[in-house]
């Protein structure tokens, strides 16, 4: 078979008269890994939703295996052999792995579900792809990474010819991601085609046979083989030349000057981090690298005071400091949590109300009554400072795009006087444009003397923003990089406990 | 002009439609000050109670105990008055004792819910029975009457400018509740907690303390409701207030409160209570037999809520379209038409 597995021709789609896809062509060959890329809002999700029958297209055709097809429901898409692994987990927590994988397709014995066979079938799948899962385990007891694997297993279970993966690694650890890549490669070798959507550029370089890039709802480029380079991909996505094309290495600073935060021997009762000590200087951006589960988030949560450390001392500006969210905010510490959707903002409330949440102490009050004018001014200031779009201060934050939601979470700290800002995975799942704006803001804060702690699993990001980097592994600080040239390979090696040779990051 | 869209107006429209219809059908009996006073008087206890319970609704919690807690407060106040010889001091002490019972109940609810992380539904369902039981023990399941002194009975029925006192009490509490919810840091915090407790905690809001306070408000307004009920009926017994929790929840839901938390206004709740009163009044005036009134009442509530929901659905459909548009392209979001 030499033809194309799936081809979309002249796809057009508008929402309320606004075109989001204009004459888009996209094709997938049998047995290839095809990355679909573009900034948030470029039209990737819409295209995928048209392919999977969630949206009806306005114009154009879908061709499957050489024949024109109508896909108007997920069932129709499934019948053709297309499976989609969603970014939003569709796992039902109280059910077991096997029950989730075969949900609504349970093997039966007469009128009853044949659980024994179901578990055997699931075990077979698990063995085939070598996942660290048990068929009888309840998914609610699994970590996020493992749940994602269940989701993938569900997609693989129906012998699909085309597997669509939307940000499959967003909640996986490095190890889990690597085993997923192995699986993806193995699937391709078995003749399965994969459409791969990811914001992590390095994954796309490592995996893809071809890349289709969308920009503003139109085809920007299709790249193949050697054409796929970071520089070209980013240029095509942004539609302009990058000022800095190579960010895989950087000369770090020494970490000098007045000490703002001194963390001494921080230890967790549950053992998630042990004897963690480091300092952050005035106007310095300290990056904390390491794998997911290394205890980085737990350490910064303890510094801000969401969870309490069992032992150790936190010294802020020379004075011992007992953190709790309230006292931390009062002391000039800001915190942008890891998962903005569940921890960062209140979706039902407007930008104004979300920004006001941490700033009632600086909003004028008449007696007890909050000044609505002052509150609004503050919201508008945040919008101006960080270019939140839409700029309507009454817009519910839950209705905004991921990048703008994150800007709201960050914005509420920017309107007050900060000494230290802690950001945990500040750009997870947001587009390159918004990423760059967030980096610029962190740089600006540092130049104004604010200390910043950045926890990030994105090595490129870590190197891009940090002045100095510490790496955590299994709950301890294992390496500090300062006053030297750091590369992604060196950080990766330290995170994985490998003493670095002149290794390769990939 | 975004404040003037149809969905905002759906509640006044329903109210006006109701009033106009009744005014046409029963012009002589409906359109009188005394009838309006009666309608408001009949819903004043629900109105008072919902103004405190809305705090709990906004958290995403529920308080099922308010009915029997009102009963316990009623019993408390009439027992104090009886045992102190129906003096004016006994009224003051009795009222304070009843308010104390309400506040204490709220503190206990709040602490159990926050410390042990037990669903509010279970905690307040259990305490509902505890309060009923306590009232029965205190009164030995007898009716305790309190026809004296005038200072007490006036709470329930004294008329000022043609309207009974409980109506003023309801308005006063509604204004206070509105002020706290929309103007103070604490009130804003309640909406935030209901919308996302984790983000609220990280934003420095004292989630547990606020939660306890919300249950205290709910308990205190239940106690006030109980006192007013006792004063209106000039008696107190274990079953005083029974069933009020359902009526209060109904008033809240009719008024647009989301039982999932984060959404709801005091004015909406008062609207809900008043609409319930109007429905009852209409059934009376139109001489609907009492055997059918429950049926009609239920159907009217469904129609009213559905009409309101339809307006919001329009709005949420537009929102949904915008979200879908955003998934495809930010432009859909920024267009002025959206």
CATH number at residue A108: 3.40.50.300
pLDDT of residue A502: 40
A356 and A410 inside one domain: yes
pLDDT in tens, A112-126: 888 999 999 999 988
The answer to whether the Cβ–Cβ distance between A346 and B205 falls below 8 Å is: no
Residue A168 maps to a domain: yes
A356 and A469 inside one domain: no
> How many CA atoms within 13 Å lie on the side-chain side of B61?
37
**A48 CB-near residues (< 8 Å, 6+ apart):** A36, A84, A164, A166, A195, A197
| B314 in reach of chain A (CB within 8 A) | no
The answer to whether the Cβ–Cβ distance between A329 and B323 falls below 8 Å is: no
Q: Provide the CATH topology of domain B2-321.
A: ABC transporter involved in vitamin B12 uptake, BtuC (1.10.3470)
- Could you tell me if B236 and B74 are in contact, meaning their C-beta atoms sit under 8 angstroms apart? yes
**Is A27 in a helix, a strand, or coil?**
strand
The answer to whether the Cβ–Cβ distance between A306 and B325 falls below 8 Å is: no
In chain A, what residues touch B322 (CB-CB under 8 Å)? 16, 399
**Is B29 in a helix, a strand, or coil?**
helix
- Could you tell me if A266 and A276 are in contact, meaning their C-beta atoms sit under 8 angstroms apart? yes
The answer to whether the Cβ–Cβ distance between B325 and A16 falls below 8 Å is: yes
DSSP assignment of A311-362: EEEEEETTEE----HHHHHHTTEEEE-S-IIIII--TTSBHHHHHHTT-GGG
Residue A1 maps to a domain: no
Report how far apart, in Å, the C-alpha atoms of A264 and of each of A276, A301, A310, A324 are: 7, 15, 12, 17
Whether B323 shows a pLDDT value over 60: the answer reads: no
Strands A420-424 and A333-336: parallel
| B201 in reach of chain A (CB within 8 A) | yes
Distance from CA of A60 to the nearest CA of B (A): 17
What percent of chain A is helix, strand and coil (3-state, nearest 5)? 35, 25, 40
**A261 CB-near residues (< 8 Å, 6+ apart):** A279, A280, A303, A314, A315, A316, A420, A451, A453
The answer to whether the Cβ–Cβ distance between B326 and A399 falls below 8 Å is: yes
Closest CA in chain A for residue B337: A16
- Could you tell me if A351 and A393 are in contact, meaning their C-beta atoms sit under 8 angstroms apart? yes
d(CA A23, CA A59): 8
Structure confidence at residue B286 as a pLDDT band (50, 70, 90):
confident
pLDDT in tens, B2-37: 444 555 677 788 888 888 888 888 888 888 888 888
The domain boundary, picked from A176, A209, A238, lies at A238
A124 and A221 inside one domain: yes
- Mean pLDDT (chain B, rounded): 86
d(CA A174, CA A191): 26
Token output for A271: 């053992």
**Which runs of consecutive H residues, i.e. helices, occur in chain B?**
6-25, 27-30, 33-59, 66-83, 88-116, 120-139, 150-157, 165-183, 185-195, 197-202, 207-233, 244-254, 266-285, 290-328, 330-334
Annotate A140-154 with three-state secondary structure. HHCCHHHHHHHHHHH
Token output for A484: 């030297």
- Could you tell me if A163 and A107 are in contact, meaning their C-beta atoms sit under 8 angstroms apart? no
Helices B290-328 and A44-51, interaxial angle, to 10°?
120
d(CA A178, CA A149): 12
Over residues B311-337, mean pLDDT: 46
- Could you tell me if A233 and A212 are in contact, meaning their C-beta atoms sit under 8 angstroms apart? no
Q: What is the DSSP letter of A138?
A: B
- Could you tell me if B267 and B15 are in contact, meaning their C-beta atoms sit under 8 angstroms apart? no
d(CA B284, CA A326): 55
Highest mean pLDDT among A155-159, B190-194, B295-299: B190-194
d(CA A459, CA A290): 9
pLDDT of residue B327: 41
In the sheet with A259-267, reading across from the earlier edge strand, the strands are A276-281, A259-267, A311-316, A319-320
pLDDT of residue B330: 36
The answer to whether the Cβ–Cβ distance between B188 and A394 falls below 8 Å is: no
A422 and A412 inside one domain: no
Q: Give the count of beta carbons closer than 10 Å to the beta carbon of residue B6.
A: 12
Closest CA in chain A for residue B190: A357
A106 and A222 inside one domain: yes
Closest CA in chain A for residue B334: A390
| Residue B54 bridge partners (DSSP) | none
The interface residues of chain A toward chain B in range 375-434, judged by CB-CB distance below 8 A, are: 389-390, 394, 399-401, 412
The domain boundary, picked from A376, A398, A416, lies at A416
In chain A, what residues touch B319 (CB-CB under 8 Å)? 399
Closest CA in chain B for residue A343: B199
Domain hosting A491: range is: 247-332+418-506
Report how far apart, in Å, the C-alpha atoms of A182 and of each of A177, A488, B7, B150 are: 9, 21, 53, 85
pLDDT in tens, B36-87: 888 999 999 999 999 999 999 999 999 999 999 999 999 999 999 999 888 8
Least CB–CB distance from A390: residue in B179, B201, B334: B334
Structure confidence at residue B337 as a pLDDT band (50, 70, 90):
very low
The answer for A15, left when phi > 0, alpha when psi is -120 to 50, beta otherwise, is beta
A230 and A255 inside one domain: no
Residue A337 maps to a domain: no
pLDDT of residue A505: 38
- Could you tell me if A345 and B191 are in contact, meaning their C-beta atoms sit under 8 angstroms apart? no
B97 burial type by CB count under 10 A (0-12 exposed, 13-18 middle, 19+ buried): middle
Distance from CA of A40 to the nearest CA of B (A): 8
Give me the phi and psi of B91, to 5 degrees please. -65, -45
Lowest mean pLDDT among B13-17, B159-163, B178-182, B238-242: B13-17
A368 and A411 inside one domain: yes
B103 burial type by CB count under 10 A (0-12 exposed, 13-18 middle, 19+ buried): middle
Angle at B59 between CA B58 and CA B60, to 5 degrees: 90
Residue A489 maps to a domain: yes
A45 and A164 inside one domain: yes
Closest CA in chain A for residue B263: A348
The answer to whether the Cβ–Cβ distance between B192 and A46 falls below 8 Å is: no
| A16 in reach of chain B (CB within 8 A) | yes
| A117 in reach of chain B (CB within 8 A) | no
Q: Which residue of B175, B203, B320, B335 to mutate against A (max A Cβ within 10 Å)?
A: B203
**Is B293 in a helix, a strand, or coil?**
helix
pLDDT of residue B315: 56
pLDDT of residue B1: 37
| B162 in reach of chain A (CB within 8 A) | no
pLDDT of residue A1: 43
- Could you tell me if B110 and B214 are in contact, meaning their C-beta atoms sit under 8 angstroms apart? yes
d(CA B18, CA A107): 56
Q: Which runs of E-coded beta strand occur in A16-136?
A: 18-28, 33-37, 59-64, 67-69, 82-85, 108-109, 112-113
pLDDT of residue A248: 60
* ipTM value for the complex: 0.77
N-to-C CA span, chain A: 33
Token output for A227: 């054409």
d(CA A23, CA A11): 5
Residue A408 maps to a domain: yes
Closest CA in chain B for residue A335: B202
d(CA B103, CA B109): 10
Give me the phi and psi of B242, to 5 degrees please. -60, 135
A328 and A347 inside one domain: no
Rg of the Cα atoms in chain A? 24
d(CA A439, CA A435): 6
Q: State how many domains chain A has.
A: 3
Residue A383 maps to a domain: yes
pLDDT of residue A431: 78
Over residues B280-296, mean pLDDT: 84
Residue A47 maps to a domain: yes
The domain boundary, picked from A416, A434, A461, lies at A416
Reference B264, options B11, B2, B6, B4; nearest CA is B11
Residue ranges of chain A with pLDDT lower than 50?
1, 242-246, 500-506
Token output for B285: 């005036």
A352 and A499 inside one domain: no
- Could you tell me if B184 and B239 are in contact, meaning their C-beta atoms sit under 8 angstroms apart? no
A191 and A287 inside one domain: no
Residue A338 maps to a domain: no
Token output for A361: 């102490």
d(CA B82, CA A247): 83
pLDDT of residue A87: 60
- pTM for the full model? 0.74
Lowest mean pLDDT among A10-19, A240-249, B229-238, B263-272: A240-249
Compute the count of residue pairs across chains A and B with CB atoms less than 8 Å apart.
138
Q: What is the DSSP letter of A273?
A: S
Q: Which sign does the torsion angle of CA A403, A407, A408, A409 carry?
A: positive
The answer to whether the Cβ–Cβ distance between A346 and B183 falls below 8 Å is: no
A463 and A353 inside one domain: no
């Amino acid at each position: 078979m030499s033809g194309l597995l799936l081809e979309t021709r002249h796809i057009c789609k508008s929402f309320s008269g606004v075109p989001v896809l204009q004459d888009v062509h996209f094709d997938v060959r049998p047995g290839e890994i095809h990355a679909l890329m573009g900034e948030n809002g470029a039209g990737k999700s819409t295209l995928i939703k048209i392919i999977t029958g969630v949206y009806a297209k306005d114009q154009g055709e879908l061709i499957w295996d050489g024949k024109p097809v109508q896909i108007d429901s997920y069932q129709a898409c499934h019948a053709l052999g297309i499976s989609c692994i969603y970014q939003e987990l569709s796992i039902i927590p109280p059910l077991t792995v096997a029950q989730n994988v075969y949900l609504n397709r349970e093997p039966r014995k007469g009128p009853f579900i044949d659980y024994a066979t179901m578990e055997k079938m699931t075990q077979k799948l698990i063995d085939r792809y070598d996942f660290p899962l048990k068929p009888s385990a309840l998914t609610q007891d699994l970590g996020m990474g493992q749940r994602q694997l269940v989701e993938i297993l569900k997609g693989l279970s129906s012998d699909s010819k085309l597997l669509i993966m939307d940000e499959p690694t967003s909640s996986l650890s490095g190890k889990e991601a690597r085993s997923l890549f192995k699986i993806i490669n193995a699937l391709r070798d078995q003749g399965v085609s994969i459409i791969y959507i990811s914001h992590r550029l390095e994954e796309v370089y490592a995996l893809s046979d071809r890349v289709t890039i969308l920009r503003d709802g139109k085809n920007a480029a299709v790249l193949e083989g050697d054409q796929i380079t970071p520089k070209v991909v980013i240029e095509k996505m942004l539609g302009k030349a990058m000022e800095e094309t190579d960010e895989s290495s950087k000369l770090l600073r020494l970490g000098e000057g007045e000490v703002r935060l001194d963390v001494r021997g921080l230890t967790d009762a549950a053992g998630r981090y042990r004897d963690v000590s480091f300092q952050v200087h005035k106007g310095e951006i300290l990056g904390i690298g390491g794998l997911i589960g290394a205890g980085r988030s737990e350490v910064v949560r303890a510094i801000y005071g969401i969870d309490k450390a069992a032992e150790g001392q936190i010294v802020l500006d020379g004075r011992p400091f007992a953190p709790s969210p309230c006292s931390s905010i009062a002391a000039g510490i800001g915190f942008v949590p890891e998962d903005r959707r569940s921890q960062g903002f209140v979706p039902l409330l407007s930008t104004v109300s979300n920004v006001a949440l941490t700033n009632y102490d600086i909003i004028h009050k008449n007696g007890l009554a909050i000044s609505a004018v002052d509150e609004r001014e503050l919201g508008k200031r945040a919008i101006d400072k960080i270019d939140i779009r839409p700029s309507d201060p009454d817009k519910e934050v839950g209705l905004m795009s991921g990048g703008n939601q994150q800007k709201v979470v960050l914005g509420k700290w920017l309107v007050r006087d900060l000494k230290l800002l802690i950001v945990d995975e500040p750009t997870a799942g947001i587009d390159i444009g918004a990423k760059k704006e967030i980096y610029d803001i962190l740089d600006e804060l540092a130049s104004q003397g604010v200390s910043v702690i950045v926890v990030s699993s994105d090595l490129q990001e870590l190197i891009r923003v940090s002045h100095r980097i510490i790496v955590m592994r299994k709950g301890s600080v294992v390496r500090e990089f300062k006053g030297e040239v750091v590369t992604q390979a060196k950080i990766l090696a330290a995170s994985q406990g490998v003493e670095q040779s002149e290794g390769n990051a990939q | 002009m975004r404040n003037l869209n149809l969905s905002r107006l759906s509640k006044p429209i329903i109210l006006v439609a109701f009033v106009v219809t009744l005014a046409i059908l029963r012009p002589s009996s409906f359109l009188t000050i005394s009838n309006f006073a009666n309608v408001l008087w009949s819903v004043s206890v629900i109105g008072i109670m919902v103004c405190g319970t809305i705090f709990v609704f906004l958290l995403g919690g529920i308080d099922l105990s308010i009915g029997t807690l009102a009963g316990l407060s009623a019993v408390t106040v009439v027992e104090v008055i009886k045992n102190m010889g129906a003096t004016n001091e006994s009224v003051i002490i009795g009222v304070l004792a009843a308010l104390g019972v309400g506040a204490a109940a709220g503190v206990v609810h709040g602490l159990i819910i926050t410390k042990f992380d037990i669903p509010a539904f279970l905690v307040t369902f259990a305490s509902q029975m505890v309060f009923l039981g306590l009232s029965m023990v205190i009164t030995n399941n007898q009716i305790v009457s309190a026809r004296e002194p005038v200072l007490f009975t006036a709470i329930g029925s004294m008329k000022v400018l043609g309207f009974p006192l409980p109506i003023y009490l309801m308005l006063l509490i509604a204004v206070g509740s509105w002020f706290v919810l929309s103007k103070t840091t604490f009130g804003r915090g309640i909406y935030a907690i209901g919308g996302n407790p984790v983000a609220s905690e990280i934003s420095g809001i004292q989630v547990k303390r606020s939660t306890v306070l919300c249950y205290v408000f709910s308990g205190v307004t239940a106690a006030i409701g109980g006192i007013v009920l006792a004063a209106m009926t000039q008696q107190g017994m274990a079953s005083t207030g029974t069933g009020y929790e359902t009526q209060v929840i109904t008033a809240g839901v009719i008024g647009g409160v989301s039982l999932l938390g984060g959404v709801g206004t005091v004015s909406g709740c008062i609207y809900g209570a008043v609409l319930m009163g109007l429905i009852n009044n209409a059934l009376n005036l139109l001489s609907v037999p009492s055997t059918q009134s429950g049926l009609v009442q239920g159907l009217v509530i469904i129609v009213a809520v559905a009409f309101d929901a339809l307006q919001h659905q329009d709005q949420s459909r537009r929102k949904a379209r915008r979200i879908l548009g955003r998934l495809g392209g930010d432009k859909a979001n920024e267009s002025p038409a959206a």
